[in-house]
Amino acid sequence: MKTNRLEAFSDGVLAIIITIMVFELKVPEDLNLQALIPKLPLFISYLFSFIYLGIYWNNHHHLFRITEKINGRILWANLYLLFWLSLIPFTTSWIGKNYTASTPVALYGFVLLMSAIAYFILQGFIIRHHDNDFALRKAIGKDIKGKISLILYIVGVAISYVNTWIAIIVYIAVAIIWFVPDKRIENSITG
The whole-number average pLDDT for the span 63-82 is 94
Q: How many domains does the chain have?
A: 1
Q: Please report, rounded to a whole number, the percentage of residues in the chain having pLDDT higher than 90.
A: 68
- The predicted pLDDT at position 184 comes to 65
Cβ atoms of 46 and 96 within 8 Å: the answer is yes
Report, as an integer, the average pLDDT of 165-173: 97
Q: Which of 18-22, 27-31, 186-190 has the highest mean pLDDT?
A: 18-22
User: Which pLDDT score is estimated for 190?
Assistant: 62
**DSSP-derived secondary structure for the chain:** --SHHHHHHHHHHHHHHHHHHHTT-PPPSS-SGGGGGGGHHHHHHHHHHHHHHHHHHHHHHHHHHH-----HHHHHHHHHHHHHHHTHHHHHHHHHH-TTSHHHHHHHHHHHHHHHHHHHHHHHHHHHTS-TT-HHHHHHTT-HHHHHHHHHHHHHHHHTTT-HHHHHHHHHHHHHHHHS--HHHHHHHH-
Predicted confidence (pLDDT) at residue 113 exceeds the cutoff of 60: yes
- Give the pLDDT mean for 44-50: 96
CA distances from 69 to 25, 78, 125, 131, 158 (A): 40, 14, 11, 11, 38
What mean pLDDT do residues 153-165 have? 98
Q: Is the pLDDT of residue 156 over 70?
A: yes
pLDDT recorded at residue 133: 80
d(C-alpha 100, C-alpha 45), whole Å:
12
**Domain, as residue range, for 11:** 4-190
What mean pLDDT, rounded, does the chain reach?
91
CB contact set of 160 (below 8 Å; sequence gap of 6+): 102, 105, 106, 109, 167
CA distance 20 to 17: 5
- Answering whether pTM is above 0.85, one says yes
Asked if residue 167 has pLDDT above 80, the reply is yes
In the structure, what pLDDT confidence band is assigned to residue 188 with cuts at 50, 70 and 90?
Answer: low
Cα–Cα distance between 142 and 145 in angstroms, integer? 9
Query: What is the average pLDDT across 147-167?
Result: 97
Above 60 in pLDDT, residue 30?
yes
Residue 131 CA: distances (Å) to CA of 67, 126, 128, 135, 137:
11, 10, 7, 9, 9
How far is Cα 182 from Cα 55, in angstroms, rounded to an integer? 9
**pLDDT score at 51:** 96
